[in-house]
Chain A
């Protein structure tokens, strides 16, 4: 018979059993017993953030840049409400997280106790699942379920709310090796008849297109996707969430598609005759107006682990529910055994299609003024790409800088591009970068941000100092909320309502006051040198404040409600 452990001990033991090495959190009244147990051990490292939102983003960045579940620990009430933005961010991008939150003692629940909030109620719409643990004997199995649910099927955040008295009560500790739930059995293997149908479509395609999303990254299927695309010589585009799923430097890559996608990717998406959608969800920012998208006749194969993603916005012809990795393997196997020799890349129609794509490419849709006397934001990212040899982990905040990063940093590997795609959370970049750095201690980590976004979680400069996280903050400072300004310029008669960032801090002094290195770069000729110097400072966080062109806009652009081929071009 094992000795009985307290709920707090059980919580920490569970994390140890799950192999969790690093958690992000902030203590408070309801989680004091859990923190006490954290203090008594050294297997699980705790990173103290400066705001609970950052704890979740950091755990999120940790998860995205590794294949582990991110873990965060927050207290009740405001601890949880601060965490909600982070949780919703992870939910929208299907990131596996386990969030442990403290709760007031069971006897006080519902009595408007100090720091009480209905955590399960508040987080319900933005978690994959959540639990309130009322009995200490249920604690271990609940945490096991949380990890299981978070990391299987379509991943997502799972929250476990633990009342303070439950952390004090005792129970036998047995950590279940596995859990089964009759109500939760995600489908992994794709239906073989559907896969067969897909191969027939693929082999008959004249103008094929592969459209790959975040599901490829999440299921670690980049290698298989690349193999598939190359064996067929099909063009491939990636969504914002899918960048790195297919090497951006490959000649078959058309770059990103969507609202700020390349001309060639959007045109090929619109005019292909067979579309292979892999772990993507036909998002409004990706296909533009769905009616316009449906104007063209094309057959769609859709591989996704979540049945509710299929035929949600666009009707598809061959749905395949299953894990992207598993389905791609099957598909490749079948294509190899099919008489592919007869019907292969040499097909004249495929050649024609590539010719058309090359014509679209000639539009050079991402060109910008390289001789500008003012720093062009695109140029900063190009230089960053060159200096890091395309091998850095890049996080971003939300806005113009995010789109430029996605367009100009060529991601050849998965899990290198970390951004808030679904929710679009400003303030995500730096805390996410902390998580990335902790998951990849030897990796080069840069956060591409803007002067508006960075101020939404600027307090984390302090966390970076405490844990010596040598991030490179690439601040594209145009003194505007750039994307808001761009929309106001295009669609609101140049009325720049509240989008000018007045009274900015001196970012150099600000960074220095936190104990970091700050640099202000005002001339194009200084960009490269500053970046090189920053990356030489291997152990230091360097805040690079680039003063960039205020009038620069992100092109191409598909205006809201317009069709994918109706882009505004530079």
Chain B
């Protein structure tokens, strides 16, 4: 979509006005600074997703809408999670972070902050695998996605 102030609120407003769900939404400018790319995750029947697509296309600032589910695609989400890391937990946390290919990016004598990327379900799986009471804080970006292979989204 056009990288203009207000474009994001039009999208968000559309979803609330028409009663569609937003599971997650990420947006940032692209290599072309006049354009932003947004990845929006929603749930709904085929009819609802069709309407969502049509309604998004109607927004003047939206340049192109694609449903990534129509083809193979890759999605990734970033999570920062601050965990309690005291005594034996310190080694355990470090091992788990390694298993999930995360990295510890901040350390105090009582805590780690772990950076993890992957599909949303992988991030969920990480949170499932650690002691819930050890989780002090999490922050997630929401998924961003791109089509597989040589196919490119052009405007």
Query: What residues on A are CB-neighbors of B17 within 8 Å?
Result: 125
Complex-state Cα separation, A311 to B10, whole angstroms: 23
* Contacts known (A183-B63, A308-B51, A311-B47); A124 close to B58, Cβ less than 8 A: no
User: What does the 1/0 interface line of B1-31 toward A look like (CB < 8 Å)?
Assistant: 1100010011001000100000000000000
- Which residue in A129, A306, A308, A312 is a CB contact (below 8 Å) of B60? A129
Instruction: Give the residue name and chain of the B residue nearest to A312 (CB).
Output: B51
Complex-state Cα separation, A372 to B81, whole angstroms: 80
**Chain A positions 167-193 with a Cβ under 8 Å from a chain B Cβ:** 181-184
Q: Are A124 and B2 in contact (CB under 8 A)?
A: no
Complex-state Cα separation, A399 to B12, whole angstroms: 34
State whether the Cβ of B62 lies closer than 8 Å to any Cβ in chain A: yes
A507 to chain B, nearest CB (A): 39
User: What does the 1/0 interface line of B53-89 toward A look like (CB < 8 Å)?
Assistant: 0110110111100000000000000000000000000
Query: What residues on B are CB-neighbors of A183 within 8 Å?
Result: 1-2, 60-63
State whether the Cβ of A508 lies closer than 8 Å to any Cβ in chain B: no
Query: What residues on A are CB-neighbors of B54 within 8 Å?
Result: 307-308
Among B2, B60, B63, find the residue whose CB has the most chain A CB atoms closer than 10 A: B60
How many positions in chain B have a CB within 8 Å of any CB in the partner chain?
19
Query: What residues on A are CB-neighbors of B9 within 8 Å?
Result: 121, 124
State whether the Cβ of A149 lies closer than 8 Å to any Cβ in chain B: yes
Complex-state Cα separation, A129 to B10, whole angstroms: 10
Instruction: Give the residue name and chain of the B residue nearest to A186 (CB).
Output: B58
Instruction: Give the residue name and chain of the B residue nearest to A154 (CB).
Output: B58
Complex-state Cα separation, A66 to B63, whole angstroms: 32
Complex-state Cα separation, A184 to B59, whole angstroms: 8
Q: Are B13 and A182 in contact (CB under 8 A)?
A: no
B86 to chain A, nearest CB (A): 45
Q: How large is the interface on A (under 10, 10 to 19, 20 to 34, 35 or more residues)?
A: 10 to 19
User: What does the 1/0 interface line of A393-432 toward B look like (CB < 8 Å)?
Assistant: 0000000000000000000000000000000000000000
Complex-state Cα separation, A311 to B61, whole angstroms: 24
A160 to chain B, nearest CB (A): 13
Complex-state Cα separation, A129 to B57, whole angstroms: 13
Complex-state Cα separation, A203 to B13, whole angstroms: 44
Query: What residues on A are CB-neighbors of B47 within 8 Å?
Result: 311
B49 to chain A, nearest CB (A): 12
State whether the Cβ of A120 lies closer than 8 Å to any Cβ in chain B: yes
State whether the Cβ of B99 lies closer than 8 Å to any Cβ in chain A: no
Query: What residues on A are CB-neighbors of B6 within 8 Å?
Result: 120, 132
Instruction: Give the residue name and chain of the A residue nearest to B7 (CB).
Output: A183
- Which residue in B10, B58, B60 is a CB contact (below 8 Å) of A181? B60
Complex-state Cα separation, A223 to B53, whole angstroms: 34
State whether the Cβ of A128 lies closer than 8 Å to any Cβ in chain B: yes
Query: What residues on A are CB-neighbors of B1 within 8 Å?
Result: 183
A214 to chain B, nearest CB (A): 17
Complex-state Cα separation, A1 to B1, whole angstroms: 35
A6 to chain B, nearest CB (A): 25
Q: Are A182 and B63 in contact (CB under 8 A)?
A: yes
Complex-state Cα separation, A508 to B140, whole angstroms: 68
Complex-state Cα separation, A308 to B47, whole angstroms: 11
Instruction: Give the residue name and chain of the B residue nearest to A308 (CB).
Output: B54
State whether the Cβ of B98 lies closer than 8 Å to any Cβ in chain A: no
A109 to chain B, nearest CB (A): 12
Complex-state Cα separation, A543 to B2, whole angstroms: 51
Instruction: Give the residue name and chain of the A residue nearest to B16 (CB).
Output: A125
Query: What residues on A are CB-neighbors of B60 within 8 Å?
Result: 128-129, 149, 181, 183-184
Query: What residues on B are CB-neighbors of A129 within 8 Å?
Result: 60
Query: What residues on A are CB-neighbors of B63 within 8 Å?
Result: 182-183
Query: What residues on A are CB-neighbors of B13 within 8 Å?
Result: 124-125
Q: Are A308 and B61 in contact (CB under 8 A)?
A: no
Among A120, A129, A183, A308, find the residue whose CB has the most chain B CB atoms closer than 10 A: A183
* Contacts known (A121-B9, A124-B13, A308-B58); A182 close to B50, Cβ less than 8 A: no
Q: Are B62 and A311 in contact (CB under 8 A)?
A: no
Instruction: Give the residue name and chain of the B residue nearest to A145 (CB).
Output: B60
User: What does the 1/0 interface line of A109-133 toward B look like (CB < 8 Å)?
Assistant: 0000000000011001100110010
Complex-state Cα separation, A120 to B9, whole angstroms: 10
* Contacts known (A124-B13, A311-B47); A182 close to B155, Cβ less than 8 A: yes
Q: Are A308 and B10 in contact (CB under 8 A)?
A: no
B46 to chain A, nearest CB (A): 11
Complex-state Cα separation, A227 to B9, whole angstroms: 45
Query: What residues on A are CB-neighbors of B57 within 8 Å?
Result: 307-308
Query: What residues on B are CB-neighbors of A182 within 8 Å?
Result: 63, 155
In the complex, given contacts A125-B13, A183-B63, what are 14 additional A-B residue pairs having Cβ atoms less than 8 angstroms apart?
A120-B6, A121-B9, A124-B9, A125-B17, A129-B60, A181-B60, A182-B155, A183-B2, A183-B60, A306-B58, A308-B54, A308-B57, A311-B47, A311-B50
23 residue pairs A–B, Cβ–Cβ below 8 Å = A120-B6, A121-B9, A124-B10, A124-B13, A125-B13, A125-B17, A129-B60, A181-B60, A182-B63, A182-B155, A183-B1, A183-B61, A183-B62, A184-B60, A306-B58, A307-B54, A307-B57, A308-B54, A308-B55, A308-B57, A308-B58, A311-B47, A312-B51
> Which residues on A are within 8 Å of B, measured CB to CB?
120-121, 124-125, 128-129, 132, 149, 181-184, 306-308, 311-312
